Amino acid sequence: MNKSLKKQLRVTAEQRKQRIDKVLAASVDASRTDVQRWLEQGRVTLDGQVARRRDTVAPGQLIEYEAAPSPLSSAEPDSSVEFDVLFEDDSLVVVMKPAGLVVHPARGHATGTLVNGLLARSGFGRPPADPDDEEGYLRPGIVHRLDKDTSGLMVVAKTAIARESLKRQFGERTVVRRYRALTVGVPRSARLESLHGRSRTSRLRFTTAVSDGRHAITNIKLIERLAAGSAALVECRLETGRTHQIRVHLLELAETPILADALYGSSTASEPVTAVAAELGRQALHAGVLGFEHPESSEALLFESPLPEDMAAALKALRALS
């Protein structure tokens, strides 16, 4: 450890028997994930001995540490990834993610993602990874996500300041997020509220049927009845942003699953509606409205994106069935 870069911290009585990673994270300007990385790299000592993550401390002990910057993204640029940019400045970029595009590298999708495409843009660079995200080095600037087969608007941070501001806005539920969906059946306009957690029977699915989960709220507004009451166009306004939230709420609480949803779909659709779903080939869900406060200027920004061609064609076909 470089002595010139070391900083010191004396353990207090209140910190007795706490783990060293918790004590250090609470005492310095760093996340616990950052501190754990410093420990793994041998950058932290306790009374002169290299510390381990599980070590506990006692009053009066001396912690010495050498901070290290968060790693930059390990994703590689890929200029072949296609998406539309609606807005960009030095702080952030707003994009229209097409259906079929994965947001960031993950298992099974090491390349060809939105992040790879963004890194190929001259104005994007390599923003620092999120220190509070253990895999942040794979998804620089990503503060929210859309499922692979959901299309729509996303905002991506280009700086750490923008990232933290946008994360705070999402956490405080001040971001405007409205989706359009085509459903099998006609739901009532309603505020759907539940617990939300991973299914015990399938690791790919989420469900409201949990006793210990995260709070989830979706506001459903019926826009248009379609196919003689066999389908509908609805607006979904998110108050929370859980994984697969809209898809789960429409299936389990409204009992009107999203058209052509391979994971949360329904086999009860009529034959003409099933034919429209087969032609569409992906869940009929589009993030069409996104609004937030600019991290630097505090200006209120609102972006809108019309239905993409495939969903517009499905809507037209369902109207024809009426």
DSSP string, 255-306: S-PBTT-TTT--S-S-HHHHHHHHHH-S--EEEEEEEEE-TTT--EEEEE-P
Tokens standing for residue 58: 């006692």
Angle, in degrees to the nearest 10, between helices 20-27 and 32-40: 130
| pLDDT-based confidence at residue 274 (cuts at 50, 70, 90) | very high
Q: Which of 67, 69, 68, 73 is nearest to 136 (CA)?
A: 73
Strands 151-157 and 285-293: parallel
Which residue type is seen at 249? H
Please give the helix or strand (H or E) that residue 8 lies within, else none: strand 7-10
One CATH from 3.30.2320.20, 3.90.550.10, 1.20.1440.230, 3.30.2350.10 for 74-170: 3.30.2350.10
Report in angstroms the alpha-carbon separations of 153 from 84, 89, 202, 274, 290.
10, 16, 29, 27, 6
List Cβ<8 Å contacts ≥24 apart for 100-109. 100/148, 100/149, 100/282, 101/148, 102/148, 103/139, 103/142, 103/145, 103/146, 103/148, 103/154, 104/75, 104/138, 104/139, 104/142, 104/145, 105/75, 105/138, 105/139, 106/138
Residue range 112-118: mean pLDDT, rounded? 93
pLDDT of residue 145: 93
pLDDT of residue 2: 53
pLDDT tens digits, 22-67: 888 878 766 677 788 889 889 999 999 999 988 999 999 999 999 8
Residue range 94-99: mean pLDDT, rounded? 98
CA geometry: angle at 136 spanning 130 and 141, to 5°? 60
pLDDT tens digits, 223-260: 999 999 999 999 999 999 999 999 999 999 999 999 99
Task: Give the Cα separation of 285 and 270 in Å (integer).
Answer: 20
CB 225 within 8 A of CB 232: yes
Q: Which of 161, 72, 63, 156 is nearest to 114 (CA)?
A: 156
In the chain, ranges of CATH 3.30.2350.10 domains: 74-170, 173-322
pLDDT of residue 273: 96
CA geometry: angle at 321 spanning 320 and 322, to 5°? 90
At 105, is the secondary structure helix, strand, or coil?
coil
Fold (CATH) for 3-65? 3.10.290
254 secondary structure, DSSP code = S
Angle, in degrees to the nearest 10, between helices 271-280 and 309-321: 170
Given the residues 147, 149, 261, 310, select the one marked as catalytic: 147
Q: E strands of 80-135, at which residues?
A: 84-88, 92-97
Task: Give the Cα separation of 177 and 174 in Å (integer).
Answer: 9
Average pLDDT, the chain: 90
| pLDDT-based confidence at residue 111 (cuts at 50, 70, 90) | confident
pLDDT of residue 71: 59
pLDDT of residue 268: 80
Percent of the chain with pLDDT over 70: 92
Task: Give the Cα separation of 146 and 157 in Å (integer).
Answer: 15
Task: Give the Cα separation of 210 and 300 in Å (integer).
Answer: 37
Task: Give the Cα separation of 229 and 283 in Å (integer).
Answer: 19
Fold (CATH) for 173-322? Pseudouridine synthase (3.30.2350)
pLDDT tens digits, 147-177: 999 999 999 999 989 999 999 999 999 999 9
Tokens standing for residue 209: 């049927």
Q: Which residue has the tokens 């009929």?
A: 284
* pLDDT for residue 305 is more than 70: yes
**Does residue 147 carry a catalytic annotation?**
yes
Task: Give the Cα separation of 132 and 160 in Å (integer).
Answer: 12
At 35, is the secondary structure helix, strand, or coil?
helix
Q: How far is CA 101 from the centre of its chain?
A: 14
Q: Which of 149, 150, 184, 182 is nearest to 274 (CA)?
A: 184
Q: Which residue has the tokens 């019926």?
A: 222
In the chain, ranges of CATH 3.10.290.10 domains: 3-65
